[in-house]
Amino acid sequence: MELLFVVDPLDTFKTYKDTTFAMMREAQRRGHVTWACQPIELSWQSGGRVRAQATQIRLTGQSEAWYEVQTQVDRELREFDRVLMRKDPPFDSEYFYATHVLSQAEREGARVYNRPAALREHPEKLAIMAFPQFVSPTLVTRDAAQVRAFQAEHGDVILKPLDGMGGMGIFRVKADGLNLGAIIETLNRDGAQTVMVQKFIPDIAQGDKRVLLIGGRPVPFCLARIPQGGEVRGNLAAGGKGVAQALTARDREIAEALGPTLVARGLLLVGLDIIGDRLTEINVTSPTCFQEITDQTGCDVAALFIDALEQV
């Protein structure tokens, strides 16, 4: 197959941990042809079809100069066997427009994963609200008074913006309410920005688990991202320590309940975030942790993904 990866600049990849790199490596091992482009290299002219200025690459196996350019072409997206949208967040206006262009490519016959419409319709923090049976008490609002009432009811809470990533903008407020006003002002901006507030889950001390769904099925191991040095955030980008572990019965229950619904919506790869026995986020834009899980357990997550990609 010819696979087109829509990605960030290749020279920014940290190949020792990058999940897209792991996908490319496994695809090349199987004889598939790897192409790459950035969203800026997508175009759609009236009367024509969606195209990409695409670069064919070959992975070298080296850590520094990890790829070689084979050729560069201007080509319709429908001419590739699969298109993988792997652009990292933030999910800003340009990301949003890119999904619309990719949706047009789908209408022309391209096979895009995760499906662009599903990316638009599943904001990663809000998506959990469709599965309240698995979620801790949660409030989404722009009303500061509602935030204060929620904190008064539940005591120890977490506040975060809906567009944050990598643990950015996450605050904990304990039962004494210390600094709640300042935090609301920072996140809410006088009602201009929506805030998510959740009852604090003490199990964060054991890690914020990333459970991967591939083709609607859970990978048997997850990555628990454990906060370090008094941090409340387990995100690897915030200094958390990643420890791979087998899924618990509750992890599997949540994953198997959500899997069929999410894959039916065109979400081939999903990263569920679970703290304790509660679902906290559904990641769909560019889920990661393939290499960390594989390195620690021997479970070849990239192989599972390419298996699924070959079958869709």
DSSP one-letter code for 64: S
Identify whether 281 is a catalytic site residue: yes
User: How many residues appear in the chain?
Assistant: 312
> CA 234 to CA 275: how far, in whole Å?
10
Identify whether 273 is a catalytic site residue: yes
pLDDT at 162: 87
3-state SS class at 196: strand
Whether the per-residue pLDDT at 238 is higher than 70: the answer is no
State pLDDT tens for residues 126-168. 999 999 999 999 999 999 999 999 999 999 999 999 887 777 7
State pLDDT tens for residues 49-83. 999 999 999 999 998 899 999 999 999 999 999 99
Return the axis-axis angle of helices 180-188 and 144-154, rounded to nearest 10°.
Answer: 140
Nearest to 226 by CA among 309, 175, 167: 167
Of the candidates 106, 208, 251, 281, the residue annotated as catalytic is 281
State pLDDT tens for residues 9-32. 999 999 999 999 999 999 999 999
Q: What is the mean pLDDT of the chain?
A: 94
Identify whether 125 is a catalytic site residue: yes
Pairing of strands 2-6, 82-85: parallel
Identify whether 241 is a catalytic site residue: no
Of the candidates 210, 235, 251, 292, the residue annotated as catalytic is 210
Range in 66-70, 210-214, 228-232, 268-272 with the lowest mean pLDDT:
228-232
Identify whether 174 is a catalytic site residue: no
Whether the per-residue pLDDT at 245 is higher than 70: the answer is yes
All structural domains of the chain:
2-121 (3.40.50.20), 137-200 (3.30.1490.20), 203-311 (3.30.470.20)
Of the candidates 233, 251, 278, 292, the residue annotated as catalytic is 233
Identify whether 78 is a catalytic site residue: no
Identify whether 49 is a catalytic site residue: no
In DSSP terms, 172 is beta-bridged to 158
> CA 283 to CA 306: how far, in whole Å?
19
pLDDT at 230: 60
> CA 164 to CA 196: how far, in whole Å?
11
State pLDDT tens for residues 82-140. 999 999 988 899 999 999 999 999 999 999 999 999 999 998 899 999 999 999 999 99
CB neighbour list of residue 295: distance below 8 Å, 6 or more residues apart:
244
Of the candidates 25, 86, 125, 199, the residue annotated as catalytic is 125
Of the candidates 86, 273, 278, 292, the residue annotated as catalytic is 273
pLDDT at 235: 62
